[in-house]
Amino acid sequence: MSAIGDQPAAKRPKLRNFVSLSECLKRSKVTKDVAEILAPLEEPSNKLPLTILIEGAPGIGKTILLKEISYKWANKEVLLNSELVFLLCLRDPDVQSMKNLDNLIHYFYPNEPVAKELVHHCAKYLLNSDGKNMTILFDGFDELPEHLQESGFIANIFKRRILPECGIVISSRPHASAHLHENVIGRVDILGFSEDDRKHFIQHSLEGEPEKADKLLSYIKTHPNIGSLCFVPFNMTVLLYLYKQGIGLPNSSTELYSLFICLTINRHLATKCGVSLQEDITDIKSLPSPYKHIIEQLAILSLKALGNNQLVFTFNEIKAACPDFDVVSGAINGFGLLQAVEHSGITQTAMSLNFVHFSVQEYLAAYQVTCLSPTEERTILKKYFWDKNHLNMFSMYVGLTKGQRTCFKQFLSDNGTAENGIADRFLEDQMKCLQLFKCFYEANDKEMCTAIYNADVFSSERIDLDGNTLLPNDIECLTIFLTFVPHKAWKLLNLAYCMIGDVGCQILYRALVPNVHSITIEKIELWDNLLTSSSDPFISSIVLSCCTRMLWVSINIGLGETEGFYTMLAESSSVLEALYIGACDLPTASAAILFKALRKNDRLKRLSLRNNFINDGIIDYMSQALRDNKCLQELYLRGNVFGEEASDEILYAVQDNFTLKVLELPDYEEDIKENIKRQELFINEHRKTHGCNAQLKIEY
């Protein structure tokens, strides 16, 4: 959500009609409180289905959060108005095969001697009640086949064709759930570990070994690529596991998963199969037979299954795809890469297998692409490259090959027809370009990096990623790109609604503030990014270092609370001309710091403080700033809480301020508006008598 009125109409998000603007703004915040996340489900509305969407990167904790919700509900800590709560894993074949509510109820009571008539009676009751006092937690929307997202029993619940009053919580990777945004009452972005969380996790895991903990923290700090990965708890856990085992630490996500997979295989062979290799294998290709053949067969299955969106396998499917499993005792679970799950099915209890994490399946699929014949490799590239369901797999593929595969280069260049090595069709999406750029940068392929950097999509010196949810690794891609050419002047960096959080802001700060690059950015948009007061000094430093003239940071609750944020106004080196800091819920003390800084500022021409709920306590500071400042031309104050006396004080303060051209005040009753109009006429007459032809326009 952007600050209403602070964005061009085309970029303003749709306000949901079930709640007031002020309530919407107050709900946009960072929290670790599960009850607060679920609060919208406790406030029934007749105008929008009660659906909460939880999004986040692979391994960031979406499944854990849903399990925590289930646990807390069972302990009567959350969802107190729900008599029934169902947790459904959407990758489960039994869930995907459900046809009706009878199947759903029987799924949770498979071994109970419950008569079909009773099950049907319960299902009928739930249907007739429209799902009232019931909540369903759906884990892994991105793992549900697309045809089941549109039709069938599960889709009927999503689309409210049945159970219209049922509470729904859906977890998903962001790439698969963007189309759900308009139909949810609340959206949650899981940000993963903060720097403090990460530090605490490492120190706790290495308790009693402070030197080791400090060494790992230092390594992460000096290797930004790894640091950006470690905000995802799963990646942090894998890294710590490798570190404890004395394995050489990785330099990329691809290398991280490669080492993890090899270490898992080594450990399983030693503990479960009684096989002792001469040395630990750190590359799948170095595995001796028959273990190498088994992993290769598993990789073939991974690629094929990924193409069919298959994440769960029966024992028979595994045995058929990997016949060499029978050669090695205890290999049926892929040497620890697969985990068995018991399913209490609709008709019988069964076992299935899935990878310990989806990213492991994606890595093996990427590995398999590198083993294909040139013809097969080109076919896969043509069919799936940058498909939303294969994005992570292809990122690993490029990482594995450093972008140097002949087939890949031919594919990108349309068989050599593109003069710069990359066809225009791959240079139309800025985010994809940035991801490609990082891969070639790490491969030290300066020619390809230059081709992407000089692409037409960047020719206007504008980077516009509005609406792309950016993970720390994505922001690393961006910073590498921004600093590729020193002394570059950018007109726009638009990260609006990208959910970068304080972590992302720190990554930008580390890259942009050192003067070695001398990057300038005329306009920066950071509205609605879950930024808090922790980002105050970082944003201020970025604005000063990049000679930024326009800054948009609306809808970041807590941002601007500290003095560090206003350094950019108080510094003589500041060139900031426009500041939009609406809907950040500024406390009076923070607004006072702003206006103190404004008294000495001689550059700022436009200031928007809309929807901050600022009250009369700020009037003395504001009035003094309006008397002293001779530069500000526009001041927007709609959505704040000023009384009639406060508005009189503001108008009195601007009588001798001949610079201000637009003053927007909060909405008042008609009699107060009439008084304001009379004062507006008086002020403009006063200006004329002093030889000032510029009129002051007062808006509401």
Whole-number mean pLDDT of the chain?
Answer: 85
CATH assignment at residue 119: 3.40.50.300
Is the pLDDT reported for residue 181 higher than 90? no
In a domain, 274, yes or no: yes
CB 519 within 8 A of CB 510: no
pLDDT band, residue 279 (cuts 50/70/90): low
State how beta strands 338-344 and 349-355 pair: antiparallel
Quote the pLDDT of residue 70. 93
Would 666 be classed as within a structural domain? yes
Who's near 547: CB < 8 A, 6+ residues apart? 520, 521, 522, 575
Q: Which residue has the higher pLDDT, 577 or 499?
A: 577
What 3-state DSSP class applies to 673? Answer: helix
170/230 same-domain check: no
Same domain, 109 and 157: yes
In a domain, 81, yes or no: yes
Res 663: pLDDT: 93
Of 189-203, 492-506, 625-639, which gets the smallest average pLDDT? 189-203
Is the model more confident about 328 or about 451?
A: 451
Mean of pLDDT values over 240-244: 87
Pairing of strands 462-464, 84-89: unpaired
In three-state form (DSSP H/G/I as H, E/B as E, the rest C), the secondary structure along 520-549 is EEEEEECCCCCCCHHHHHHHHHHHHHCCCC
Q: End of a domain among 299, 334, 364?
A: 364
Res. 6: pLDDT tops 70? no
Residue 332 pLDDT > 90, yes or no?
Answer: no
pLDDT band at 111 (very low <50, low <70, confident <90, very high): low
Cβ-contact 651, 676 below 8 angstroms: yes
Task: Say which residue, 43 or 72, is predicted with more confidence.
Answer: 72
Does 344 score more than 70 pLDDT?
Answer: no
Do 213 and 179 share a structural domain?
Answer: no
Q: Give the tens place of pLDDT for each residue, 160-172.
A: 999 998 999 999 9
Q: What is the pLDDT of residue 454?
A: 92
| Whether pLDDT at 49 is above 60 | yes
pLDDT for 17:
27
Is there a single domain that holds both residue 258 and residue 110?
Answer: no
Which tens digits make up the pLDDT trace of 222-233? 887 788 788 888
* 463/188: higher pLDDT: 463
Which domain-ending residue is among 364, 397, 424? Answer: 364
Alpha helix stretches (DSSP H) within 206-290: 210-222, 224-229, 233-244, 253-271
Which residues span the domain enclosing 128?
A: 31-189
For residue 602, the domain's CATH number is 3.80.10.10
Per-residue pLDDT band for 12 (boundaries 50, 70, 90) equals very low
State pLDDT tens for residues 583-604. 888 888 899 999 999 988 999 9
Cis link prior to 290 (omega < 30° from 0)? yes
Note whether 169 and 38 are within 8 A (CB). yes
Q: Is residue 146 situated within a structural domain?
A: yes
Q: For residue range 465-474, list pLDDT tens digits in order.
A: 998 888 777 8
Looking at the structure, tell me whether residues 65 and 182 fall in a common domain.
Answer: yes
Domain shared by 235 and 129, yes or no: no
What is the model's pLDDT at position 188?
84
Q: Report how many domains make up the chain.
A: 3
CB count, 10 Å around CB of 143?
22
pLDDT tops 50 at residue 99: yes
* Together in a domain, 90 and 218: no
The reply to whether 549 falls in a domain is: no
| Residue 14, C-beta contacts closer than 8 angstroms, at least 6 positions apart | 182
474 SS3 class: helix
Residues 700 and 600 occupy one common structural domain: yes
Burial zone of 593 (CB within 10 Å; 0-12 exposed, 13-18 middle, 19+ buried):
buried
Mean pLDDT across the stretch 359-371?
Answer: 92
Distance CA 348, CA 107 (A): 10
**What does the pLDDT read at residue 329?**
73
Q: What is the pLDDT of residues 135-146, one digit of tens each?
A: 999 999 988 888
Looking at the structure, tell me whether residues 208 and 357 fall in a common domain. yes
**Does residue 84 belong to any structural domain of this protein?**
yes
Q: Where are the beta strands (DSSP E) in 446-602?
A: 462-464, 489-494, 520-525, 550-552, 578-580
- Whether the per-residue pLDDT at 157 is higher than 90: the answer is yes
- The reply to whether 650 falls in a domain is yes
Domain end point (choices 324, 346, 364): 364
Q: Indicate whether 142 and 175 sit together in one domain.
A: yes
- Asked if residue 653 belongs to a domain, the reply is yes
Confidence band for 87, pLDDT divided at 50, 70 and 90:
very high
What pLDDT is attached to residue 463? 96
Residues 138 and 239 in one domain: no
Q: How far is CA 551 from CA 137, 522, 569, 586, 684, in A?
A: 39, 9, 12, 17, 30
Token pair, residue 468, equals 């792309």
CA atoms within 13 A of residue 400's CA, in its CB half-sphere:
23
Q: Which amino acid is at 337?
A: L
Average pLDDT over residues 628-643: 91
Contact 215/202 with Cβ under 8 angstroms? no
Both 321 and 282 in one domain: the answer is yes
